[in-house]
Structure 1
Amino acid sequence: MATISRPAYVLSAILVFAILTFILLPNFNAEPPSLGTQAKKGRKEYTAPKQNVFAELTAKEAEDVNEFLFEDLAHLNLTKTPKSNRDNFVFYLETLRPNKTDALAYLHGSSEPPQRWAKAILSEYRDDGPYMAHYMVSLPITSKSKTLPLTYVFNSGSNAVRIPTLDFDGLFGVGQSIAANISDITLELLGAEINLEKPEAPDGLLCWPRPAGIERGGQVMWFQIFKPGIASGARTLLPQGIYAKVDANSLFAEEWTVEEYYYNGQLYDTADDFRAAIKKSDFVRAPRNDDGPWTATEDFDSQPDGRELPPPVSVQPYGPRYKLDRKQQFVSWFGFEFFITTAQATGVSLFDVKFKGERVVYELGLQEALSHYAGDDPVQGGLEFLDTFLGMGKLMFELIPGYDCPAYADFLDVQWHQLYETNTLPNSICLFEYTSDSLLSRHTAQYSVTTSRNTYLTLRSTSTVGNYDYTVEYIFYLDGTLEVKVRASGFIFGAFYSANSSKTEDLYGHHVNEGLASSMHDHVINFKADMDVAGTANDMVRLAIEPMTKSYPWDLPEIKQRNTMRLVEYPVTEETFLDWPRNGGEMYIVYNSEEKNSWGERKGYRVVPGTGIASPPHLTIENSTTLGDGARWAEHDLWVLRRKDTEPRSADPLNYFNPHDPIIDFTKMANHESLQHGEEDDDYDGDLTLYLNVGSHHVPHSGDIPNTLMHTSASSVMFIPHNFLDRDASRESVQGVRLQLKGNGASGGFPGDIGDTRPGGDDDDDDNNEDLKARLRRRRRATALDKERRPEAKYFGATYEEGMKLGVEEFEPVLPQQYRSYENRVTDLGFNGSAAGVWFK
């Protein structure tokens, strides 16, 4: 086995960015960004009815907590300038969100907000190595403040997770050393070698470890060589097919050794064995996978017919119809009300979502984003990502007005606190109203036609996690429907296309370029939906649509039995999973246990697959050897659990470090407890939490080169009112028109029109004692008048009637002036993108 020597050069700060950069915090006191100027014209100041008790720490709060921890945890000898994982330091801070029981007491009753706490994650060096440990600190900081181990939100029995290596910053050096030691081989087979002075040189190579769940306690890693692809950013399209297995049993990278090499279906015990094999006449070389125009995502030169003209866009000339309190991050729109908050690991979450004054969802937010691959090489064969480990909130970069969101959208900044600094991500969330190209409803009667526009509100963010951009949307519809939707775009994580005789990569994907194959993988993205349908006392039922044969007395004697169908309700009586039913043969409904509408029906919300390309999937791989117990929530579509303050999440970013004994084990949460409230010796009150998955079974094909497209990768779940109100709520707020066609006014006329025979119409007068002949004469007169008049239209809701002048920036924003991001980080998918070198600046 070869000992790995570390090259003597300074590690790049960009490539060794941050180990567990998880928590992201909004700037509630920031000035509004200079985007969506037209949308702000004439806007009245709006104030939320309550304080946002879920708001992330302000910069001042974070500063106070950092200073307090140095005093209160003096025995740890914390440092503000860590040099390695041997130092103890405060890694990041965020808000510890209040328990639901306390938050509801304030939001729907008490005048005093709940006690505010900060969560502090510290890097601690202990006798057996480095740990990441969680603490809670009471706010505001006073002489009475205290620091406690944060344990109650984890079911592992500990507030800390051991880091499997002391030297994550050394991973980059190890990879470069591997490539340098076989530079003659890489030059022979790949036509390139490592550039130790400029490791990201476009004509050089890089060597990275497989960023998968750490097996055998993190003691074995496979490294793969890539070309930088720095010009296009297409590194994950440029694997080079040479792999090295490293024994990483030691905490110290300089003690790691290379165990074997792999190339084109063959294993070699040493580099010399590899060199000797190349010289043999029967050695088979794989095609090279070189960068080129094929990885470029843009074509600036082509001009097919029509490209010389800009496409249609949406405008908002009269300003927004929603109300936004920027300081409290509170939104109100046509009956919907909700708070916004963010976290570095998981991005945007919503709290206290109400419709028509009644709470529907207490909490709706991302928990984890998993991608799990399959393949025939040492990297693809065990590749998986848990993206909150990389920080889906911290990687919410600035949105582009006019492209990511309409030019008139409101854009919100986000902050996060790490290593004693507050960082701002400008314009990383957008809020806007939009009108679909399809109607909400329409109907044509004999003499009239009615149409209603489908207008909805969208809250959107995009997280760039290495090779993928995930766009997360919360969409609100006028009828009370709420949708959570995820779209993906970006470069696939490709596999090297070998030239060996077995060609087993054909089992896992397609040949998509000269030296590149695609790798099938599952995207399973988990969301928490703490349902509170008209209150916390809820029941979950499966309302099945089933065939049956039944005899009806009115059919006899002609038909003895009729084949038909019926509804059968199956209560969900214990914590369990549900998969989307075959043929859509069941409805999953969350009912309020006590509240009913005017017709005696229980108030409910139905949970259904949304507007994506297919039913959202769950993980195909069974009992993943890589994931262990780190993501059991991914094995089914939907989970129904008791809500508990001690189970606020289905996953934790630190599960990545120890998936076989995770700090949050979902199997301990979904443990078949009873969901039947009101039973003796049980204090369960009916408060349900759903954990549901969106995503896709992704089999990349040639159309995914160079980028996967968002419209073919969208997936969503919708929450739809089910007897929640007495009628369709959108009737009150929708915009539309009723067009009265030329013809008999007795059919489909407007209330009060001559000839209107509907209740309340002109012919429905209880005090009118006209005889039949008089009524017929009135009808004939009305018909004659109807033949003479032209079709009429009546609008419900406002119409555009005043002239307006819009600047060109409302159609095409001047991006060099309006796009103000200063972020220039390069995200990667190795430990260096999340777990290494946090002490480097």
Structure 2
Amino acid sequence: MNSLVKWVLILFVLFSIILNIVLIGIHQNKAPKCSAQRVHPLRGKHNERSGVFADLTREEYLQVQEYMLKQTDLDISTKQTTKPSENFLFLIDLSLPKKKEALEYLDGKSPKPVREATVVVFYGAKGHIKEYVVSPLPNPKKYRDVTLERYKKELPINARTVTIGEYVLIFQFFQEKVFVKLDKLLKESFNYSPKNNLNAFEQMPRGVQSGDRITWVSFFRDMSGMYIHPVGLEVLLNHKSVNSSQWTVDRLLYNGQYFDSVDELKQKYDDGTVKKIVYKESLDYGSLKPRKKPLELGPQQFYAEGKRYSINKNHVLYLDWSFAFGMSSLTGMRVFDVRFKDQRIVYELSVQEAMSVYGSVTPGMMLTKFLDSSIGIGRFGHELVRGVDCPYEATYVDTYRYIDAPAPIRFRNSICVFEHNMGQPLRRHFSDFFHNSYGGMVNSALVFRTITAIGNYDYMWDFIFYQSGAVEAKVHATGYISSSYLQDGSLKYGHQVAENVLGNIHTHFINFKVDLDVMGEYSSLPDYCCRG
């Protein structure tokens, strides 16, 4: 009898398991599936004419470079270590067409404007900077000097940004003219050695009047987040001459005390007549590694019926929206011909400048006003990390740039595009007077994003396209603060963030260009250049 009951129970359990498996299978077949394919058709069609705003391709960059090198009378080099005293091809970038020509082409009223590239050459041997326009692309056949046309004057060579070739000479200068003489000070104060280096971080502007090229350079420990590990040594480098053998150290700051030369600092340090910095090992508080391992995966985003946007070359479609996009090496990301329900409302929306102004008692921060376009905003738009910088399911776009390099460089996944639920309804209302009713609309928007890491700061740039017809230009700053060594009087200009580390007072100014074409090109609405 016990055996019979036992077998009945076993058969019942097996039957239950089989029945549950069948029911689960039936339920899964009826449940909606997450589809990678688009279920609903797009509301518009991609516009091939948007290519008028497309960034230069790798092939176009190479064609322009090859053409310029063939002009033997220009005598230019593309070597990344070209010296300031030589001629260097610094920049190749798209030369945007005139607005009138672009609009007539976009509206089918005229042929495509001639595709052109802007080329910047630093003529160290001649003492000036030239800007050229090379055309037509592809297969360029001519160039013209547009320096006076664009700037109304000749550009002196000292107006150039610091190139990698000049940085090589600067680091070599510090090693041979400063560090060798101050070996005792560096070892005792900072534990400096070939294996325990100091990193340099320069400040801007390079002087207080036109023609100056003198730069305060601050030194930091070679650690994670070096920008918050200052050591208390700053050097004023005069590198006005294109010949590095004529460079000099005009002043130094050590532990809050100024010195007119390296020899003076060395002598007074050896004599014991200066207040010395005593080396102390610094904690690794600037590391980006998580202190604790995450226990579980966070919430993820998915597209239940496929993506509602589409990207074809440099053109984006999203519900009622369409726009062309690009990335300037100097100013960063930009969009053109922005249309809502096929009506052009913005001709151009673009980043123009990121400026930060500092205050401090130390010279490195006292004068500092960073103008990021002077070194290139888009230049530093690197690869975006899937699942961190943008959602896993975002669409990623590669870009190419040619700036301070021997050849065009590919930046993989440097732009991302995704639709995102903004976390609150676009509109909603619940009525409990007379009648109970509710109406609401999901607030999903398309985000067009890149992130530029310019020195210590990482700027996250977003252009956001809402279903209501609104466009938002948004920037979020992250990364590291720029710090200086704590000394007497410092706390008037910031807050102490670690031992002997001051977070300096500063402010950010962000400029966007917004060229509105609401209700036609000649609408009464003004164009805006916004500051935040």
TM-score interval for Structure 1 and Structure 2 normalised by the shorter chain:
0.7 to 0.9
Counterpart of 2:219?
225
Opposite residue 427 of structure 2, the aligned amino acid is S
Alignment of 1:635-674 (within 5 A): none
Amino acid at match of 1:259: D
1:250: Cα distance to partner? 3.4
Distance in 2, Cα, partners of 1:397 & 1:171: 25
Residue 47 of structure 1: CA displacement? 3.3
Letter of the aligned partner of 2:187 in structure 1? L
Determine the C-alpha separation between the residues in 2 that align with 1:471 and 1:214.
30
Deviation at 1:40, TM superposition (A): 5.4
1:469 Cα offset (Å): 1.1
Residue in structure 1 matched with residue 385 of structure 2 by the alignment: 400
The aligned runs of 1:103-252 (5 Å cut-off) are: 103-110=102-109, 112-127=111-126, 129=127, 131-140=128-137, 145-151=141-147, 154-158=150-154, 162-163=158-159, 167-177=166-176, 178-190=178-190, 192-195=191-194, 201=195, 203-216=196-209, 217-229=211-223, 232=224, 234-252=225-243
- In the alignment, residue 432 of structure 1 is paired with which amino acid? F
Contact preservation (8 Å) 1:396, 1:428: yes
> Which residue in the other structure is 2:20 paired with?
none
The separation in 2 between residues aligned to 1:77 and 1:292, in whole angstroms, is 51
Pick from 502, 510, 515: which aligns with 1:530? Answer: 515
Instruction: Verify the 8 A CA contact 2:63 2:139 in the aligned structure 1.
Output: no
1:479 to 450, 455, 468: 468
Structure 2 partner of 1:362: 347
* Equivalent position amino acid for 1:274 in 2: L
Q: CA deviation at 1:208?
A: 4.9
Please name the residue that 1:454 is paired with.
Answer: 443
- Secondary structure in structure 2 of the residue aligned to 1:437: coil
How do residues 340-359 of structure 1 correspond to structure 2 at under 5 angstroms? 340-359=325-344
Measured after TM superposition, the shift of residue 351 of structure 1 is 0.3
The whole-number CA distance in structure 1 between the counterparts of 2:248 and 2:87 is 28
The aligned amino acid for 1:450 is G
The answer on whether the counterparts of 2:46 and 2:316 sit within 8 Å (CA) in structure 1 is no
- Residue type at the aligned position of 1:402: G
Q: Give the letter aligned to residue 692 of structure 1.
A: C
Structure 1 Cα separation of the partners of residues 491 and 349 of structure 2: 40
Aligned partner (choices 481, 490, 493) of residue 492 of structure 1: 481
SS at match of 1:338: strand
Aligned equivalents of 2:271, 2:124: Cα separation in 1? 50
- Secondary structure of 2:311's counterpart equals strand
- Which position in structure 2 is the counterpart of 1:430? 416
Name 1:99's counterpart in structure 2: 98
Cα offset, 1:424, TM superposition: 0.9
Distance 1:260 1:404 in 2: 42
Matched, 1:60 2:59: yes
Would the aligned equivalents of 1:411 and 1:429 in 2 still touch at CA under 8 Å?
yes
What SS class does the counterpart of residue 68 from structure 1 fall into? helix
Residue 496 (structure 1) shift: 0.5
Deviations 1:216-238 (A, max 9, x none): 42343323322111xx2x11111
Q: The residue matched to 2:67 in structure 1 has which SS?
A: helix
2:35 and 2:413 map into 1 onto residues whose CA distance is 16
Matches within 5 A, 1:654-803: 688-694=526-532
Offset at 1:535?
Answer: 1.1
Counterpart AA for 1:170: L
Quick check: 1:175–1:207 contact (8 Å CA) kept in 2? no
| Alignment partners' CA distance in 2, 1:64 and 1:206 | 37
Which residue identity lines up with residue 220 of structure 1 in the other structure? I
Q: With structure 1 as the length reference, what TM-score do the two structures score? A: 0.54
User: How far off its partner does 1:515 sit?
Assistant: 1.5
Aligned letter for 1:417? Y
List runs of 5+ in structure 1 lacking aligned partners. Answer: 1-36, 196-200, 540-589, 591-687, 695-841
The one-letter amino acid of 2:117's match is: A
Q: Which has the larger share of helix? A: 2
- The offset of 1:286, in angstroms, is 5.0
Q: Is the 8 A contact 1:39 1:408 kept in 2?
A: no
Counterparts of 2:137 and 2:265, CA distance in 1:
62
- The structure-2 alpha-carbon separation of the partners of 1:411 and 1:160, relative to structure 1 and needing over 3 Å to count, comes to farther
Write the letter of the residue equivalent to 2:287.
Answer: A
> Does residue 316 in structure 1 map to residue 313 in structure 2?
no
- Whole-angstrom distance in 1 between the partners of 2:217 and 2:48: 54
Partners of 2:115 and 2:148 in 1: CA distance: 16
Please say if residues 287 and 514 of structure 1, whose CA atoms lie closer than 8 Å, have aligned partners that are also in contact: no
**Distance in 2 (alpha carbons) for counterparts of 1:274 and 1:369:** 37
Task: Work out whether residues 124 and 133 of structure 1, in 8 Å CA contact, stay in contact via their aligned partners in 2.
Answer: yes
Structure 1 residues 43-100: Cα deviation after superposition (integer angstroms, max 9, x where no partner): 97963253420112222222322333344x3312334557433443433322111000
Distance 1:85 1:282, change over 3 A: closer
Correspondent of 2:73 among 56, 75, 100: 75
**3-state SS of paired residue (1:485):** strand
Report 1 or 2 for greater relative contact order, CA contacts < 8 Å, sequence distance ≥ 6: 1
Contact 1:330-1:337 within 8 A present in 2 as well: yes
Give the superposition deviation at 1:205.
2.1
Is the CA contact (8 Å cut-off) linking 1:353 and 1:360 kept in structure 2? yes
Q: Secondary structure at the match of 2:189?
A: helix
Preserved contact between residue 179 and residue 206 of structure 1 (Cα < 8 Å): no
Partner of 1:826: none
Aligned to 2:227, the other structure's residue is in SS state: helix
1:679-718 per-residue CA deviation (whole Å, 9 max, x = no partner) reads xxxxxxxxx4321112xxxxxxxxxxxxxxxxxxxxxxxx
Cα distance, 1:538–1:401 mapped onto 2, change above 3 Å: same
Note the residue ranges of structure 2 that are not aligned, 5 or more in a row: 1-33
Helix, strand or coil for the counterpart of 2:413?
strand
Q: Alignment length, in residue pairs?
A: 487
Structure 2 CA distance for aligned equivalents of residues 247 and 422 of structure 1: 32
- 1:61/1:477 CA distance change after superposition, 3 Å: same
Native 8 Å contact 1:179 1:207 kept in 2: no
Q: Secondary structure at the match of 1:394?
A: helix
Going by fraction, where is strand more abundant, 1 or 2? 2
CA contact 2:85–2:243 (8 Å) conserved in 1 = no
